[in-house]
Each structure stands twice: as C-alpha cells, then as structure tokens.
Amino acid sequence: MNNTTLSPKEVQRGLALVLREGLATQSMVILTSGAFLVAFALELGASPLQIGILSSIPLYANVLQILSIELVRRWKSRKRVVVIGTFMGRSAYTGIALLPWWPGEDSRLYLMMLALMVQYGMGAISNGSWNSWMRDLIPKKRRGRFLSHRLVCVQVISVVLSLGVAFLLDQLNQYYPGQELYMYASLFMMGSLAGMIGSLLMSRTPEPAQVGVPQPLHSLLTLPFKHPNFRRLMAYMASWNFAVNLAAPFLTVYLLQTVGLSMPYVIGLTTLSQLSNIVFFRFWGHYADRFSNKTILRVSAPLYLLTLAGTVFATLPEVHALTFPWLIVLFLASGVATAGTGLASSSIGLSLAPREHSVAYLSVLSLTNALASGTAPILAGLIAEYTLAWDWTLALTTPVGSVTLISLRHWDFLFVLSLVMGLLALYRLKLIKEPGGAPGRFLVKVFLAKIKKERQARGHQPWLVNMPVSVYAAFISPQRKEDRETAK
C-alpha cells in the first residue's frame, strides 16, 4: 500500500534503499550483459546478425512499458508492478545459466533469445513504473546530485566486479581450457541471484501516493504527443538512441575479432571508461542542477560522437603500435561523455514530464526510444554482414611513398554511419526548451575558469588544459549573439 505522504525520515530511508538496490541490480547487469553476454553468444556460435538481434532485444522490449500504465491504473501501485515484474524477469537468467546442459546445441542460442525476451520484457514493464516512482520519491532539488551519486556507486561496483570477474575467468581458462561455456553460465546464475536481491530491496522501499486521476490507457498514450516540447524531446531521444545503437552493441565484437584483444583487455578498457564515469558523474550532476540537462547534453553528446569517429583510427590501416594507447584515450573520453549523456538523458524526461501523468509520459518516451534503439542493431547487423568484404582507403602518394590517410573496413562503416546519424540528432536537441538552459560553450567556459583558478593556485600554467578545451568549446557551440544573451 502506498503512503499518502512521506516524512523526511521515510524519504531518506527510501533513498538509501534505492542506492542499495542500484548496487544489486548493477551487479546483475555486469554479470549478464555487455562483453560477457557477447562472449557467451559467440561461444554458442552467434553470427553478426544474431549479435545484433541479441542487442536489440532489451531495446525493443521497452515497447512493453506501455503495459505499466494500465497495470498502475488497475492496481494503483507502482511498487507492486515493479517488484513482481523484476522478480519474474530476473528468474529467466537461471534458464540461460542452464543452457550448456541443454541437449540440442542448435537451439541453445534461440533459447537464450527467448529467455532474454522474458527478462527484458518484464523489466521494461517495471521500468515505466519505476521511473515515475523515483520521480516522486527523489526531491527535485536533490535529484541531479542523488542520481549522480547513485551512478558513481553503481560504477564503482561495476569496476570492481568487472575486473574481478575478468581476472577470475582468465585464471580459470589457464587451468581449465575449453570450459568457457560453463564459466559464462556460472556468471548468469550469480547474476540471477543478485537481481533477486535487488527485487527484495525494492519491495522494502516506500512509495509516495501518485498524483492525478486514473484515465483509460488510450487517452493517456496520446497526452505526450499533444505536448509540443515533450514531442521534441521524444524526437531527439529516438534519433540519438538510434545513432548510438548502430555501433555500440558491436564494439566488443570489434575489439575481440578485429583488434584481436583478449577478454581481460576488453574488460580493462571498459573499466577505464567506468572510472572516468565515476570521476565525472559528480561534475555533470552538479552542473545539471545549476544549469539544465540540455546544457549537459550539448557538451557531452558531441564528445561521444568524437570518440566514435576516433575508433576508425585504431586500425589505420592495420593494428599498430599505438592501437591500444589510442583505445585507452578513446575509452577514457567515452566514459566522460557517457557520464553526461546517461545522467542528462535519464533526468531530462523526469524534468519535462508533468507529475500528474508522469507514468504515461515516461512510458511513451521509452516506447519511442525502444522502437528506434531496437531497430538500429538489427539494421547494423545486416550492414555488417553486407560490408564484410568492403575496403575503402584514401591514400596520399608522395615521391617517398604512399601515406594512408583513412582506411574503412567492415565495422568501421558502422562507426561512421553512427557518427553521421548522431550529428543529425544533435540538431533536434537544439529545439528542446528546458528551464535554466545555457549554451554548451558557456558551461565549458565555467569549467575552464575553475581549472584555471585551481592550477594557478598550485603555480601551474593552465594553457595546456585551456587550449584543447577551448577548441572543443568552439566546435560544439560557435558563439552567437543569442548565446551570449542566454549566458548573461
């Protein structure tokens, strides 16, 4: 039963439980997705298209968030929807853990897809209610800082768990070669247990009463489309998620197969990205509260696109001595960028959705994101199979020899396509109106002033930082008259 009002003590207790739940759920996510899921699927014989389908399942599953609207309307409890949905969905990971013992080898990959559909489908139904629940539970003035703090804690557990598991797998592989299938199955069993603990913690979290009179599902679904500004947000989020998911699901495959890295190195790069996430979550959270989520996106989203563009130089024209150092730079920059885009993308919907219809608005936002995000990896998988033998090279011929300027092969075409689509998405971001917004250039100037003050206090010259950051500021937001007025 949800409470009519929550006391400050109840709110504080709820926030503490939400923090712990995040740690348990993230442990499940680390053990059952990302590099470990891709490696498990490759052990089962997955093709690029099948990897794309696997990557699209959690994205397409978000379409089911609209069911949470009807369930909340009938049950009058978001908490009940979340707890039941997550418990049922996370139990499906146990089925995946048992796949190595399934007698039909040809059907194992399809059973994995089926189990993931159950898990992500139930998770999507839960997420729509969870977003609305958190919107009402977390005080608005603390939302940016709390979410950034939660994300920092989540990333810390991600780093520790990822490194620990990668090291353990590497050691086990040395003593028990050829047993990778059973090792990955064990990870999924542990992930299922961690997920159940997360569901238990959610069952103990208090729920504020929902504001608004229940309405039929069809009338609720049309509300976000009648809101011009929220419509612009949906268009931006859909186009951005489409662009990102053209390349992101295949980055692990690219590192394993094209670059030739082993799993510990892949996890190591992912960990570096997570560490830079941790460092910058508080930074982005502070400025999201000070300015706006849109301002954060105007700075962090272009940086992420630059890391995508930089990936094609990791194998220019082949794997070279600077490949791994260059990947380290890209993953560090990507961590900085995704800290901002992740925080701002999750918060901007909470900020622009009216409280009385937040479940409907956030569910429809997730629905549009799901359709765009789910389509992207399947399309990318088809493109990857079609471009398998493609090779496009631009070289400069000189009297002393030929110099390769750029070389695109196989996965590189996906990274370039993702970059182009991402640039188109940034145009839609400009159309969104959010209170407290400022030009991205202005936020970078604030950051530069802070760095300059700190370095001068230590007796250091700030120009080494100022110059590249100033160039980036000019790149993301050429100064215009209206920008100067907004900054004032």
Q: Which residue has the higher pLDDT, 37 or 445?
A: 37
Query: Which band of pLDDT confidence, cut at 50, 70 and 90, is reported for residue 48?
Result: confident
pLDDT value of residue 94: 92
pLDDT value of residue 472: 52
Return the percentage of the chain with pLDDT > 90, whole number. Answer: 14
Phi, psi of 348 (to 5 degrees): -65, -35
Task: Spell out the domain ranges in the chain.
Answer: 8-386, 438-488
Q: Which of 138, 151, 68, 209 is nearest to 351 (CA)?
A: 138
SS3 assignment, position 402: strand
Which range has the worst mean pLDDT, 200-214, 328-342, 369-383, 398-412?
398-412
Planar angle of CA 265, 171, 195, nearest 5 degrees:
80
CA distance 343 to 452: 26
CA distance 379 to 384: 9
Query: Which band of pLDDT confidence, cut at 50, 70 and 90, is reported for residue 27?
Result: very high
One CATH from 2.60.40.10, 1.10.10.10, 3.30.420.40, 1.20.1250.20 for 8-386: 1.20.1250.20
* Tens digits of residue pLDDT in 89-120: 999 999 999 988 888 788 888 999 999 999 99
- Whether the Cβ atoms of residue 66 and residue 223 lie closer than 8 Å to each other: no
SS3 string, 340-379, reads HHHHHHHHHHHHHCCHHHHHHHHHHHHHHHHHHHHHHHHH
DSSP 257: I
CA distance 168 to 407: 37
pLDDT value of residue 463: 46
CA distance 398 to 276: 41
Q: Which of 230, 212, 228 is nearest to 69 (CA)?
A: 212
DSSP 312: G
Average pLDDT value for residue range 45-71: 80
Return the percentage of the chain with pLDDT > 70, whole number. Answer: 81
Query: Which band of pLDDT confidence, cut at 50, 70 and 90, is reported for residue 17?
Result: very high
The CA–CA distances, whole Å, from 40 to 96, 115, 180, 203, 246 equal 10, 14, 8, 31, 21
Average pLDDT value for residue range 44-67: 81
Sorted by sequence, the CB contacts under 8 Å of residue 210 that are 6+ apart come out as 2, 72, 76, 78, 132, 136, 359
With b for 16 or more beta-carbon neighbours within 10 A and e for fewer, the 432-462 pattern comes to: bebeebbbbbbbbbebbeebbeebeeeeeeb
* Tens digits of residue pLDDT in 290-304: 777 888 888 888 889
CA distance 65 to 235: 18
Phi, psi of 473 (to 5 degrees): -60, -45
H-state helical runs in 106-175: 108-137, 143-175
- Whether the Cβ atoms of residue 90 and residue 29 lie closer than 8 Å to each other: no
pTM for the full model? 0.67
pLDDT value of residue 214: 54
Residue 458 has pLDDT above 70, yes or no: no
What token pair was written down for 465?
Answer: 């930082």
CA distance 98 to 338: 34
Query: Which band of pLDDT confidence, cut at 50, 70 and 90, is reported for residue 240?
Result: very high
User: What totals of helices (H) and strands (E) does the chain contain, helices first?
Assistant: 20, 2
Q: How far apart are the first and last CA of the chain?
A: 48
The residue behind tokens 């996430």 is 277
* Tens digits of residue pLDDT in 444-454: 555 555 545 55
What token pair was written down for 137?
Answer: 């539970």
- Residue 467 has a CB neighbour count (10 Å cut-off) of 10
- Residue 484 has a CB neighbour count (10 Å cut-off) of 12
